Amino acid sequence: MTQGRLRVLLGAAPGVGKTYTMLEEGARLRAEGKDVVVAVVETHGRAATRQMVGDLEVIPRSVRTYRGVVLDELDLEAVLLRRPELALVDELAHTNAPGSTNEKRWHDVRALLDAGIDVVSTVNVQHIESLGDVVEEITGARQRETVPDAVLRAADQVEVVDLAPQALRDRLAAGDVYPANRVDAALSNYFRLGNLTALRELALLWLADEVDSALKAYRDEHGIDSHWEARERIVVALTGGPEGETLIRRAARVAARSSGGELIAVHVSSPDGLAQGEPGALAAQRALVEKAGGTYHQVVGSDVPRALVDFARASNASQLVIGVSRRGRLATALSGPGIGATVIRESGRIDVHIVTHSAAGRRSRLPRLGGALSPRRVIAGFVLALAGGPLLTWLLTNNRTEDGIAGDVLLLQLLVLVVAVTGGLWPALFAGLLSGVILDVYFIAPIYSLTIAQPLHLLALVLYLVNATLVSWVVDQAARRSRAAARALAETELLATIAGSVIRGEGALQAVITRTREAFGLGRVRIVTDSGSGERELQSTGQEAAVGPVTRLPVGDGTVLEVTGDVTAADRRLLGVVAAQVEAALEHSELSRTAGEVGPLAEVDRMRSALLAAVGHDLRRPLAAATAAVSGLRQSDVRWSDADRDELLSTAHESLDSLSTLVTNLLDVSRVQAGALAVTPADVDVDEVVMGALDELGLGPVDVELSLRATVPPVRADAVLLQRVLVNLLDNALRYSPADERVRISSSGFGGRVEIRVVDRGPGVPADRRDEIMVAFQRLGDTDNATGLGLGLALSKGFVEAMGGTLTLDDTPGGGLTMVVSLAAVSGAAVAPADEARSAS
């Protein structure tokens, strides 16, 4: 019997449209003449999904009773008896009711496939078994119903039904996913924007890995080893040398810029098992690769370039990153082309990046100025003259002819030129004298004698010396200018680095002295200042026990730059420039410190000005009213009626009560800003605090809609402060809510936290101004100074943060502002996930 084909629609979260897409596909296939039935579909009360079922044939479900609860499940026997071409089976991860034929719905799907029936099914990424821990870490909810990865990987087709996270939240807010009473809790818990974004990425990455596995299996099955550039794969070759970290970071940046590029590191070891590179360095580099999200591999090969290219092709790599060879020029000349040249020649369509690094010979120390060549080149010149002269003499004497004297002279002259280019002036003069002696003794009559019989022979010897002197002088000048140019370039790089460090400010002093020590090859560099009671070290780098001459350069009043090590006159000139930069860095640091001190003072001054303005307006009004009422009552020449007297007393009482509240808030604000607020944490029942706040404000069901979940655990908070927070938030919400709309209070638990949400349907607050209303003495839209000092939200935020919580603002679906108080649940209390959607689409 032909096996049925399985097609799975994968979603990032409930509500993205998997069930709708499944039904839409079923309707399309039925219109094309295919026999399609709906084996089971979960509409979750969604009108659009229920309407999409349309006139598709629906197999009635089997009904079972478990512990007094009636459950309906997919009727597997009925579907097998019906034997359609295609069955639509929703929620692949669903657990069947006890007593069903199979425990899991994916077992039912497997039975349908074995019967030759094609199946289209749905599943959310949170139900994939291997991703359970990751999903729990993201959402805080552990999924009880899962489907093995092997079941999904065995599917003939897996496709993602994608929907942008914000679009899903909009769909949820519009009531297209859950009923209205579940929307707020869902938006604030499982359907947070960050959660949905992470789940969406998880679904796409899982599918990408599945596609890679399928592609690799196809290539292996068909013996394809050519490069297929399906997506960027960057292979970085590691030798275990110091350049490894640089290569890994460069390759990781290339992979990151490739939108989903994959980083693969490989080390080629010798077949004899002997270690190549430092094991410790390789271990550290492997950890760095894994930290960058890549994978590490080790292969064995005697031909390193060939092994690298073969591995890159087997990995279907698009780019190969290698480092510049650490060998010197002589080693390269003796051993032939290096790994880089061979890899480039053999790589074919794979792009090869050769990355420079410090181990490839980049000098961090400034070159020394000098007129002569390096001692190594001078010695090489003498060695070439001593070895080349006798060897050339032996060759020429064994092939001597009577007419070959001119050729002999030119060859010996060429030796002088080569020695001059190699070793400079003194080796060239030595080679010239040596070649003159050789000419006179072995090639000019009388042979084997130092006698110079003719003036022409003496002239030839002088010409040899002149040629050697001229060529060596040219080489010496070129070397001098080359060193001067290298020195100037190094000085420019040094000064640019130091100037950049000073401009950036942060860590400037340490960066300057560290770069200075490296550039000049010093043992120690430090900055010291005279504090009056002795020298005090500001910054230092290098070895404390460093030996050598000490040079001190002033960098300001009482501060010096002290360097330990050999310093030439040219170095001292450049060190003077470094000292000026150090002085600038010190000034920058001092200005930053002063600015840091002025900032809080400016904030205090701003608060003082705001406080004075508030006192001048808000405190004066109740104080004036109370004073007027009391003064009127004390007048002896006026006879007040009982009603007038009661009204004056009432005015005085209300004004003094308002004044007391304002003063209390001012004192609380000062304590919050000074960090001196007294908090008494305890296990607090959220429901009791909410009811206490309603009682304090005299609110009832007409004013406030309550949606408090019974499963919410106690929170760790100060009950008095928390009640004041809720009073402030409710008062603010009532002030801005329309008369015909009730303020809503809800509570929910999620991931060890408890959230209390105060929801209004007012005009809301623009996103760019939300931070303002959390600042003391700020009132958006108030112009009559009749609504207090603007301290309510500032105090609420300070109280909540003092209890270890957060107060944030969010948009109310449909318009308005939602204020969210988040506090830690009591340790050990079970926090029930809010409205976890099993597999709803």
pLDDT at residue 546 above 90?
A: no
pLDDT band at 832 (very low <50, low <70, confident <90, very high): very low
What pLDDT is stored for residue 624 in this prediction? 73
Most confident by average pLDDT, 325-334, 473-482, 493-502, 663-672: 473-482
Query: Helix, strand or coil for residue 547?
Result: coil
- Mean pLDDT computed over 749-775: 75
> For residue 450, which of 462, 460, 439, 440 has the smallest C-alpha distance?
440
Short-list 361, 378, 481, CA closest to 421: 378
Q: Which of 1-15, 156-170, 229-243, 609-623 has the lowest mean pLDDT?
A: 609-623
- Which of residues 265 and 460 earns the better pLDDT score? 265
C-alpha span between 233 and 289 (Å, rounded): 14
Q: How far is CA 653 from CA 255, 470, 623, 646, 730, in A?
A: 72, 111, 11, 10, 24
Average pLDDT, the chain: 76
pLDDT at 385: 84
Provide the pLDDT for residue 835: 43
- Asked if the model's pLDDT at residue 776 lies above 70, the reply is no
Q: What is the pLDDT of residue 668?
A: 58
How far apart CA 8 and CA 544 sit, in angstroms, is 68
Tokens, residue 598: 């002025």
Which pLDDT tens digit goes with each residue over 115-145?
A: 999 999 999 988 888 887 778 878 777 778 8
pLDDT of residue 1: 66
DSSP single-letter state for residue 27 = H
pLDDT for position 25: 92
Question: Is the pLDDT assigned to residue 86 strictly greater than 90?
Answer: yes
First to last CA, the chain: 33
Which residue in 47, 49, 11 sits closest to 27, CA to CA? 49
- Look at residues 570, 566, 561, 571 and name the one whose alpha carbon lies nearest to residue 541: 561
Where is mean pLDDT largest: 638-642, 788-792, 802-806? Answer: 802-806
What band does 112 get if pLDDT is binned at 50, 70 and 90?
Answer: very high
Highest mean pLDDT among 194-198, 431-435, 762-766: 194-198
CA distance 53 to 794: 53
Domains recognised in the chain with CATH numbers: 6-221 (3.40.50.300), 233-360 (3.40.50.620), 375-482 (no CATH), 520-676 (1.10.287.130), 682-824 (3.30.565.10)
C-alpha to C-alpha distance for 244 and 357, rounded to whole angstroms: 9
Highest mean pLDDT among 154-163, 224-233, 404-413: 154-163
Instruction: Please check the confidence at residue 528 and state whether its pLDDT lies above 80.
Output: yes
Q: Which of 224-238, 350-364, 508-522, 751-765 has the highest mean pLDDT?
A: 751-765
Chain Cα centroid distance, residue 672 = 34
The CA distance from 202 to 125, in Å, is 7
Residue 756: closest CA among 741, 769, 743: 743
Count of C-beta atoms within a 10 Å radius of residue 71: 16
Segment 153-168 shows an average pLDDT of: 87
Query: What pLDDT score does 481 carry?
Result: 72
Lowest-pLDDT range, 434-448, 511-525, 615-629, 786-800? Answer: 786-800
Residue 335 has pLDDT above 50, yes or no: no
H or E element at residue 425: helix 425-438
pLDDT in tens, 411-426: 877 887 788 777 777 7
On the question of pLDDT at 837 being above 70, the answer is: no
Looking at the chain, the whole-number percentage of residues with pLDDT higher than 90 is 9
Secondary structure (H, E, C), 642-710: HHHHHHHHHHHHHHHHHHHHHHHHHHHHHHHHHCCCCCCCEEECHHHHHHHHHHHHCCCCCCEEEEECC
Instruction: Look up the pTM and report it.
Output: 0.42
> For 706-733, what is the mean pLDDT?
84
Give me the pLDDT at residue 834, please: 43
Residue from 754, 758, 753, 640 nearest 697 by CA:
758
pLDDT of 454 above 90: no
Distance between CA 754 and CA 825 in Å, rounded?
6
pLDDT confidence bin for 594, thresholds 50/70/90: confident
- In this predicted structure, the answer to whether residue 673 has a pLDDT above a threshold of 90 is no
Q: Is the pLDDT of residue 270 over 50?
A: yes
